[in-house]
């Protein structure tokens, strides 16, 4: 018995994991496949007859409307990404393939949920420039920001300061309480450092128990001294109750300023590192 493929097509459309939309020239949804409930949280009958623009993320509306104009002018769009709002208010990232059919006066689009892919890409970008434990800037990004900061300081004839911080006797915490507790202490250090910074400053974990801080637009050495004292004060505060009887370790901080202590990134890093070790030796 011959198979009636024409009769199978609607069933095949509803079996697709991607969602199929059919929209008229006025943006009204004429048809949507069953997969829309997984994509947007709406049943097909809830979407049919409504405007597809109602579900677009407002921040992507202008970009999406420009894409629609291109599609309706006859250009196939097979790799357009935008965001839609789900029924529960959450955001879904969608990859579209769309085409306008002049004879039928409809736009057909196939929508794929790429939210997980977008989140994975964002996480990879974040991890490329941040310390995975503390979430602070990593050595590579910090160096880039230091170089950029030096360039800006040179152009504007301003100053900047570099702080190099080391946790005293941190190895004792790891050896006594274990690396899991040591990691929690490092994360506490990171959050306390962040609380001391302005939006224009940068804190980084260089590795182990060593941290750096970039202070831009510094007006005087007194401002640097004030910042160091602020950091020392917050680091001296007791650890939370979740740490039990563990004491917050002290820290040693070395400083280097542009242009007094050097005019390039490597020189300033070496100067701040050396200053930190001198402080540590005399504590």
For the annotated catalytic residues, the residue numbers are 209
Token digits of residue 40: 């947007």
Q: What is the 3-state secondary structure (H, E, C) of 230-261?
A: HHHHHHCCCCCHHHCCCCCCCEEEEEEEECCC
For residue 104, which phi and psi values (nearest 5 degrees)? -90, -10
Closest CA to 274 of 252, 244, 258: 252
CA distance 177 to 179: 7
Tokens describing residue 78: 């097979």
How would you class 59 by CB atoms within 10 Å of its CB: exposed for 0-12, middle for 13-18, buried for 19 or more? Answer: exposed
Name the residue among 83, 111, 112, 84 with its Cα closest to residue 22: 111
- What are the two backbone dihedrals, phi and then psi, of residue 46, each rounded to the nearest 5 degrees? -75, -30
Q: 233 to each of 108, 178, 226, how far by Cα in Å?
A: 63, 26, 10
8 Å CB contact between 19 and 109: no
Asked if 68 contacts 96 with a C-beta cutoff of 8 angstroms, the reply is no
């Amino acid at each position: 018995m011959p198979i009636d493929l024409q009769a199978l097509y609607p069933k095949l459309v509803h079996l697709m994991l991607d969602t199929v939309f059919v929209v008229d020239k006025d943006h009204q949804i004429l048809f949507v496949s069953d997969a829309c409930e997984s994509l947007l949280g709406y049943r097909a009958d809830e979407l049919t007859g409504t405007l597809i623009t109602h579900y677009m993320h407002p921040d992507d509306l202008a970009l999406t409307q420009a894409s629609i104009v291109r599609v309706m002018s006859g250009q196939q769009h097979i790799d357009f990404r935008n965001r839609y709002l789900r029924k529960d208010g959450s955001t879904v990232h969608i990859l579209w393939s769309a085409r306008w059919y002049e004879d039928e006066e409809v736009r057909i689009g196939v929508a794929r949920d790429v939210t997980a892919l977008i989140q994975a890409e964002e996480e990879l970008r974040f991890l490329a420039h941040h310390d995975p434990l503390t979430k602070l800037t990593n050595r590579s990004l910090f160096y880039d920001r230091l170089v950029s900061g030096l360039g800006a300081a040179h152009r504007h004839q301003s100053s900047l300061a570099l702080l190099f911080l080391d946790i005293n006797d941190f190895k004792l915490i790891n050896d006594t309480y274990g690396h899991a507790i040591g990691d929690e202490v490092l994360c506490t250090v990171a959050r306390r450092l962040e609380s001391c910074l302005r939006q224009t400053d940068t804190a980084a974990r260089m590795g182990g128990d060593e941290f750096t801080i970039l202070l831009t637009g510094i007006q005087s050495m007194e401002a640097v001294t004030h910042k160091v004292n602020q950091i020392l004060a917050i680091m001296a505060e007791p650890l939370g109750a979740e740490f039990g009887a563990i004491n917050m370790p002290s820290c040693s901080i070395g400083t280097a300023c542009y242009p007094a202590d050097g005019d390039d990134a490597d020189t300033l890093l070496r100067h701040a590192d050396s200053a930190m070790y001198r402080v540590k030796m005399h504590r």
